[in-house]
Structure 1
Amino acid sequence: MAVLGLITHTTTYKYAKPVTFGAHRAMFLPRRGSTARLLGWSAETNIRSKIHWVSDARSNAVTVIAPSEPGSELTFTFRVRGVYFGIRGIEAFPLEARADEVPIQYTPDEWNDLVGYLRPHAEDPDGSLATWTKSFVAGDRDQTVDVLRRMLAAFGNQFSYRARETEGTQTPGETLRTKSGTCRDYAWLMTEALRRLGFASRFVSGYLYDKALDGGEVGMTGSGATHAWLQVFLPGGGWMDYDPTNQINAGFDLIPVAVARHPGQAIPLEGSWFGDAKDYLGMSVSVTVNKIGEFADPSEG
């Protein structure tokens, strides 16, 4: 089954008086591939701007927006319409034998291609991350699927989701110390933990489709905003999604926009403005991901 969907992503910055703006960079276009087809997209601002699209080194689509006039409010509205085929769970893919147990045995070519996603990025000054990571491996023949499931479940059992207005991502050590964080914090902690077990892992920013919201019900954690999770490269399966916030790794829920070695490379929207710091009044973000139709996937015969 394939889903025809509409994504609307609006961000508004407000100021006490008109200020001037530098260029902004946005990541809102879902990554195209075997699971997604983009039918149309647009980027608009409430003030006159020059807009163009580029691709970064990881093949993420980046929208560059240069406002050409001052204002006391700056609103970005991004819309995407496309077809999404969903991701099957790991059980649907016959992993190669070298991926059955931890550590995974990557080939020399894979190692060269994946080294940036295998090497830990965050520091672990007190060893807390290493200690937590080791708790998921029990012996010499730990099954890959079991380790991934145990780590995913730990976020539901050990941590409390905590939204916050401040931008940025906590260090893995801070998330472990407080046993709380946002989706970006959870994704970064799991990414770095898996790297220390020899898994090639990358940080993902994107959108969360929540079918409960189509019916006006309370949805999953992280819906209504941009979302973050991670992908793990498993020989035989490829890059597989894992969302520690909602403990899911398959289905139509996760729509990737940007992949990165670390969260700083996958910021949904960033830019600059010029004026007195006290004039900044804050920002608001609204994201809706709606299903507007569905049809049979022709690849399923």
Structure 2
Amino acid sequence: MATFNIVHITKYQYNRPINESINEIRLFPHNFENQEVLEFQLSITKNPQITITTDYHGNRVGNFNIMEPHSEMIVESKMLVRTTHSQKIPEIDHVKVADLVAKLENDVYLLRLSYPEKIKKQEEIIKILKEIDSSDKSIIAIAQQCNEYIFTNFTYTKGITNIETTLDEILEHRKGVCQDFALVLLQLLRTAGIPSRYVSGYICPNESGLRGEGATHAWVEIYSPIQGWLGIDPTNNIWTMDNHVKLSVGLNFIECTPIKGTFKGLAKQTLSVSVSIGYEDGRHFEEVNNVQLQDVSAEAKEKLDYIEQQQQ
């Protein structure tokens, strides 16, 4: 059992005031199995009204608009979360892919989570599954071997990829971070016929030396009809533990994005994300990341450059 005090701050800054921003957030941790939310607080620039709904996966989703002109938007979530180590033991689960067939036929949700994405390099995914010989093995064994393959054959490197990087690109250079590795693992598992979903959350440092600690993290859950959802982390080649705090689940990264939105106006924007984690014993860890955003269109860039020239 472990208790973590997590502060997640997302800061958008604009070089010129924008007229309006429209946003969607998935920053509401709810009580998953083996995870209890003790406290939660959310604050947003201009204190807008937030409409909260529940999506297809059971995540709480907030929508809000800031109608006033602004040059900065800060979204800060504070949570106190207690995790308890899962009583599930993946190694004793001997379910095979063939055992899932009847379950998938009667569950549209699980069926959708067992479809791989359409990519150009699907033959490479099939080649990997043949290499690890995934036939006639338990779903646990397949998941573990796919997890280990990614951990061994892909290089953990920051700054190589961004939120727009495709699966084909990740498979091409075999480098990336947690979200990239989670997407590759999803493709492998779904191709093998195992219902799997993307998980967004945090991995809290505990002097364990795990990769991705102290920042937003991503991993995968597979479904077993015997034990339900089981978390597995390809970035660290482990099954999830007490220091994995789950925020949201979905088909892929897009369905779990903590914050996404758009704005009216011509301005260049920058984005920084900081995650601070505090422990019961007083220790504290913080990491700040500057996020690479999608490039603006050539037309918008030309207009922005013209405005900057006029202001000089």
Please indicate, yes or no, whether the TM-score normalized by the shorter chain is above 0.5. Answer: yes
Tell me, yes or no, if structure 1 residue 284 matches structure 2 residue 269. no
Tell me, yes or no, if structure 1 residue 220 matches structure 2 residue 210. yes
Residue in 2 that maps onto 1:79: 78
Partner residue of 1:142 out of 115, 137, 141: 137
Once the two structures are overlaid, the 10-residue window that deviates more, 195-204 or 46-55, is 46-55
- 1:158-183 Cα offsets, whole Å, 9 max, x none, are 11122238742533322121011221
Residue in 2 that maps onto 1:41: 40
CA apart distance, 1:7: 1.2
- 1:103-152 Cα offsets, whole Å, 9 max, x none, are 341152444321011111232456222212322216x5334433322221
Residue in 2 that maps onto 1:299: none
Tell me, yes or no, if structure 1 residue 184 matches structure 2 residue 179. yes
Instruction: Report percent identity of matched pairs.
Output: 23
Q: Is the 8 A contact 1:169 1:185 kept in 2?
A: no
The one of the two structures with greater contact order (alpha-carbon pairs below 8 A, sep at least 6) is 1
- C-alpha separation in 1, matches of 2:14 and 2:48: 18
Q: Is the 8 A contact 1:8 1:287 kept in 2?
A: yes
Alignment of structure 1 residues 1-301 onto 2, 5 Å = 2-88=1-87, 90-91=89-90, 94-95=92-93, 97=94, 99=95, 101=96, 103-106=97-100, 108-113=102-107, 114-125=110-121, 127-137=123-133, 140-164=135-159, 167-212=162-207, 219-276=209-266, 279-292=267-280
* Structure 1, unaligned runs of 5 or more: 214-218, 294-301
Aligned length: 280
- C-alpha separation in 2, matches of 1:259 and 1:72: 31
* SS of structure 1 residue aligned to 2:215: coil
Q: TM-score by structure 2 length?
A: 0.81
CA apart distance, 1:235: 2.7
Residue in 1 that maps onto 2:303: none
Q: Is the 8 A contact 1:5 1:81 kept in 2?
A: yes
* Structure 2, unaligned runs of 5 or more: 282-312
- C-alpha separation in 2, matches of 1:46 and 1:171: 32
- C-alpha separation in 2, matches of 1:192 and 1:29: 27
CA apart distance, 1:79: 0.8
- C-alpha separation in 1, matches of 2:55 and 2:61: 7
- 1:13-32 Cα offsets, whole Å, 9 max, x none, are 11112112322111122231
Q: Is the 8 A contact 1:208 1:289 kept in 2?
A: no
Return closer, same or farther for 1:271/1:206 CA change in 2, 3 Å cut-off: same
- C-alpha separation in 2, matches of 1:132 and 1:107: 23
- C-alpha separation in 1, matches of 2:72 and 2:161: 20
- C-alpha separation in 1, matches of 2:200 and 2:192: 23
Return closer, same or farther for 1:67/1:212 CA change in 2, 3 Å cut-off: farther
Q: Is the 8 A contact 2:59 2:248 kept in 1?
A: yes
Return closer, same or farther for 1:212/1:64 CA change in 2, 3 Å cut-off: farther
- C-alpha separation in 2, matches of 1:189 and 1:15: 34
Q: TM-score by structure 1 length?
A: 0.84
- C-alpha separation in 1, matches of 2:49 and 2:11: 18
